[in-house]
């Protein structure tokens, strides 16, 4: 919590007789839950978590909220007990914050609790994401695309979550028989000034054997890397594929090229936290520790194997992405670009070992399976988002690719999607070049 905006948590005072003539306090119209939410929203994934909490309350409420988001202009809440708090959702910054909230004696959900907290306090739940799994998914993603050279760039300042993502990435690569180049820690001057760091970052990126695959821990860091590559003449993704984390569309879609990113699905995390708190406030039990699902990866131009394979394929794939869903017919895209379908298919077979439509279909299947595993969206909506005619069409495609029905990826709980290095059977060989 930020100074000046954090409430002072105190136990409710003992009941005292009414002051003569004051009368009883005004009655409340209804016993609606009063929920205190403290989530700093400078971070994109944190904003998504807050959005998920509010969406759940809108559907299942009403809930009355006080939001502590780090906005210095916001009005604080000095006595949360007098406000009538019945539950808390907190992305706490330290153990002392957690203890102060726990002393309120109301149900509380802590997102990413402090590293030193071994177990949730009474009437509290921990919601945890495995940061190492994020790094492992990046490693699997790149290895499945045929890369042999790997690199990692962490946060500008030391951070446990950055280290855990680095370790997950590096250890998974080691398990698969690969090494990893780690970008050195920054000096104090570099950590607070990108202009001071950029020359060294450029020299390091240029020194990597090409082609290489680079994973970094945040979208803003990915954007800095792409800008440095552009300035130094390093081709992305031809010489260097770049994958970041958070899937902040404003950053990812406006980078050059568009930045591929690991989506943490903060909205689903927020809805999960709100659902757990609702159960606790209703007097129902809940698991003390809830682990969030494995992440999914959104592929854009910075890791697009098609873009790296051939300029003609890059134009076709870019046009298909821009068209959205449902995707247009290949012959219409080729005609608009002044390219023959035969040329497109010939180049796809040359670079991927199979027709372009099969490569694209495999990507749509994988994206759909990731959505099944990591969201509560109905199959019909997932099928529509991924460009299939309906749920049955999508189900047949998934079963043909993986030998399993879509529901099997959800039945086992969150994180049940195929590992990032498992390719659908319709996916041909891809090789960065």
* Confidence bin at 326 (pLDDT 50/70/90): low
Which is nearest to 151 in space by CA: 193, 214, 209?
Answer: 214
Whether a cis peptide bond, with omega within 30° of 0, leads into 257 is yes
Q: What is the CATH number of domain 131-263?
A: 3.40.50.2300
CATH architecture label of 34-129+266-294: 3-Layer(aba) Sandwich (3.40)
397 vs 220: CA distance, rounded Å: 36
* Confidence bin at 94 (pLDDT 50/70/90): confident
Superfamily of domain 304-433: Homeodomain-like (1.10.10.60)
Spatial contact of 245 and 216, defined as CB atoms under 8 Å apart? yes
pLDDT of residue 61: 81
Residue spans of the domains in the chain: they are 34-129+266-294, 131-263, 304-433
79-83 contacts at long range (C-beta below 8 A, 24 or more positions apart): 79/7, 79/8, 79/10, 80/7, 80/9, 80/36, 80/104, 81/9, 81/10, 81/11, 81/12, 82/12, 83/34, 83/36
For 261-290, write each residue's pLDDT tens digit.
Answer: 999 888 989 999 999 999 999 998 888 999
For 384-428, write each residue's pLDDT tens digit.
Answer: 888 888 889 999 988 888 788 888 877 544 434 444 444 444 333
Length of the chain: 433
Burial call 417-428: b when 16+ CB within 10 Å, e when fewer: bbebbebbebbb
352 vs 354: CA distance, rounded Å: 6
For 233-246, write each residue's pLDDT tens digit.
Answer: 998 988 899 999 99
Other beta carbons within 10 Å of 152: 23
Mean pLDDT over the full length of the chain: 82
Task: Please tell me if the domain spanning 34-129+266-294 has the same topology as the one spanning 131-263.
Answer: yes
Give the helix ranges, DSSP H, for 305-432: 305-309, 311-323, 330-337, 341-352, 356-374, 379-385, 391-402, 407-411
């Amino acid at each position: 919590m930020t100074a000046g905006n954090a409430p002072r948590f105190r136990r409710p005072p003992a009941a005292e007789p009414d002051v003569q003539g004051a009368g009883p306090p005004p009655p409340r119209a209804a016993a609606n839950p009063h929920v205190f939410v403290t989530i700093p929203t400078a971070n994109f994934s944190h904003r998504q978590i807050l959005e998920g909490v509010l969406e759940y309350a809108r559907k299942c409420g009403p809930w009355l909220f006080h939001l502590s988001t780090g906005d210095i202009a916001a009005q604080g809440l000095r006595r949360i007990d007098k406000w009538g708090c019945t539950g808390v959702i907190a992305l706490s910054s330290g153990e002392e914050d957690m203890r102060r909230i726990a002393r309120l004696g109301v149900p509380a959900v802590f997102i990413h609790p402090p590293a030193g907290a071994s177990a949730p306090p009474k009437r509290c739940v921990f919601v945890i994401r495995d940061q190492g799994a994020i790094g492992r998914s990046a490693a699997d993603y790149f290895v499945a695309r045929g890369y042999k050279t790997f690199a990692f760039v962490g946060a500008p300042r030391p951070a446990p979550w950055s280290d855990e993502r680095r370790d997950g990435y590096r250890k998974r690569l080691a398990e698969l028989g690969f090494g990893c180049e780690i970008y050195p820690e920054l000096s104090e001057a570099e950590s607070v000034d990108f202009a001071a760091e950029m020359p060294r970052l450029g020299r390091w990126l240029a020194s990597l054997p090409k082609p290489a695959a680079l994973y970094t821990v945040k979208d803003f860091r990915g954007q800095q890397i792409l800008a440095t590559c552009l300035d130094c003449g390093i081709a992305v993704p031809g010489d260097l594929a770049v994958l970041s984390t958070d899937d902040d569309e404003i950053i990812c879609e406006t980078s050059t090229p568009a930045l591929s990113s690991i989506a943490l699905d903060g909205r689903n995390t927020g809805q999960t936290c709100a659902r757990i708190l609702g159960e606790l406030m209703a007097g129902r039990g809940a698991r003390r520790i809830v682990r969030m699902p494995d992440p999914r990866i959104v592929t854009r131009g910075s890791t697009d194997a098609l873009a790296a394979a051939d300029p003609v394929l890059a134009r076709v794939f870019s046009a298909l992405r821009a068209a959205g869903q449902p995707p247009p017919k290949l012959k219409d895209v080729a005609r608009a670009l002044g390219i023959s379908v035969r040329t497109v298919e010939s180049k796809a077979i040359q670079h991927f070992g199979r027709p372009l439509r099969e490569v694209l279909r495999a990507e749509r299947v994988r994206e759909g399976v990731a959505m099944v595993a990591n969201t509560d969206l109905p199959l019909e909506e997932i099928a529509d988002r991924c460009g299939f005619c309906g749920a049955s069409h999508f189900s047949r495609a998934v079963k043909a690719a993986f030998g399993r029905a879509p529901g099997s990826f959800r039945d086992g709980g969150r994180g049940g999607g195929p590992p990032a290095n498992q390719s659908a059977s319709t996916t041909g060989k891809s090789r960065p070049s």
